[in-house]
């Protein structure tokens, strides 16, 4: 069920709406991609990513009867906001990193301080199925930046490895999930692998669920799988975590649902 418009033209998903959207999306993403780890774009991706984590658990390597969370990293990017220490002219012109993945988190398997047992996962991003998570895909600029930079980091990490080491890791794969995708003209570009089946929102298989063709280039699958909880028009989305009065937010959301004939 699409999020209904409120009387003031805004979309007001509730926490429950978003939790359910992610629940349904996760089932699809788990079957289609089964991520090894998540990279959350802060601050928007923090809440969706934390909810998503609950639905992407895996059996523990140490005790397969128990489920464990998949590893999660947060990255900070700043497009819209001023960053302390930047002069006025440089704001908005480019994306600024405010937090990033450490070399250790990128190259877990190469860290000599870690004791890695034969055949066990050594951590790191290299050789993993990486799911990038954000709140909304508006202009696509943040997502493009996050993907490009992570791709470049993995590429560089791979080139620092020996031939033998590279042969031992599977191809690194990228996917991204956003709660809402706006049907906008996108300023940012992403080489989307599954262009016509990116919506997992209602849990139904998308119209075209053929597996995309994966082409491996230098140890990385080229392109990115794209998943969105819901497509929207270019409306203002008022997220519950931004609300200064959550009771009123929920009242307006319930009004909109009633008016749209949803229960």
The catalytic site residues sit at 138
Residue spans of alpha helices (H) in 83-212: 103-106, 141-159, 163-168
Burial of 13 (0-12, 13-18, 19+ CB in 10 A): buried
Q: Half-sphere exposure (CA, 13 Å, Cβ side) for 40?
A: 19
At its nearest, how many Å lie between a second copy and the CB of residue 32? Answer: 20
At its nearest, how many Å lie between a second copy and the CB of residue 39? Answer: 10
Name the residue nearer to a second copy (CB basis): 84 or 167: 84
At its nearest, how many Å lie between a second copy and the CB of residue 95? Answer: 15
| Residues within the interface to a second copy (CB under 8 A) | 14-16, 19-20, 23, 40, 42-43, 46-47, 49-51, 53-55, 60-62, 68-69, 71-74, 76, 81-88, 90-91, 98-102, 105, 108-109, 111, 114-117, 120-124, 240-244, 246-247, 250
At its nearest, how many Å lie between a second copy and the CB of residue 176? Answer: 18
Residue spans of alpha helices (H) in the chain: 15-32, 46-55, 103-106, 141-159, 163-168, 246-259
Burial of 74 (0-12, 13-18, 19+ CB in 10 A): middle
Name the residue nearer to a second copy (CB basis): 72 or 148: 72
At its nearest, how many Å lie between a second copy and the CB of residue 55? Answer: 7
Using only C-alpha atoms, what is the Rg of the chain?
20
Q: What angle do CA 51, 19, 56 make, to 5 degrees?
A: 40
d(CA 32, CA 29): 5
d(CA 70, CA 125): 12
């Amino acid at each position: 069920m699409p999020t209904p418009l409120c009387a003031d033209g805004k979309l007001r998903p509730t926490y429950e709406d978003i939790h359910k959207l992610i629940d349904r999306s996760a089932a699809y993403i788990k079957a289609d991609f089964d991520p090894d780890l998540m990279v959350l774009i802060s601050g928007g991706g923090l809440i969706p990513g934390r909810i998503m984590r609950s639905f992407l658990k895996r059996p523990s390597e140490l005790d397969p009867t128990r489920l464990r969370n998949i590893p999660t990293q947060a990255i900070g990017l700043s497009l819209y906001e001023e960053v302390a220490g930047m002069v006025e002219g440089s704001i908005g012109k480019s994306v600024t990193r405010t937090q990033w993945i450490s070399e250790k988190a990128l190259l877990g398997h190469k860290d000599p301080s870690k004791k890695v047992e034969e055949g066990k996962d050594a951590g790191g991003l290299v050789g993993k199925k990486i799911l990038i998570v954000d709140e909304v895909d508006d202009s696509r600029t943040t997502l493009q930046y996050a993907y490009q930079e992570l791709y470049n980091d993995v590429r560089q990490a791979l080139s620092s490895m020996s031939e033998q080491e590279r042969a031992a890791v599977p191809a690194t794969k990228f996917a991204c999930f956003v709660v809402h995708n706006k049907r906008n003209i996108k300023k940012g570009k992403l080489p989307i692998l599954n262009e016509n089946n990116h919506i997992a929102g209602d849990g139904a298989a998308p119209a075209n669920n053929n597996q995309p063709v994966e082409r491996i280039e230098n140890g990385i699958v080229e392109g990115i799988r794209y998943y969105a909880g819901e497509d929207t028009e270019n409306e203002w989305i008022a997220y519950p975590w931004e609300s200064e009065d959550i009771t009123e937010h929920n009242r307006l959301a319930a009004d909109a649902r009633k008016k749209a004939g949803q229960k």
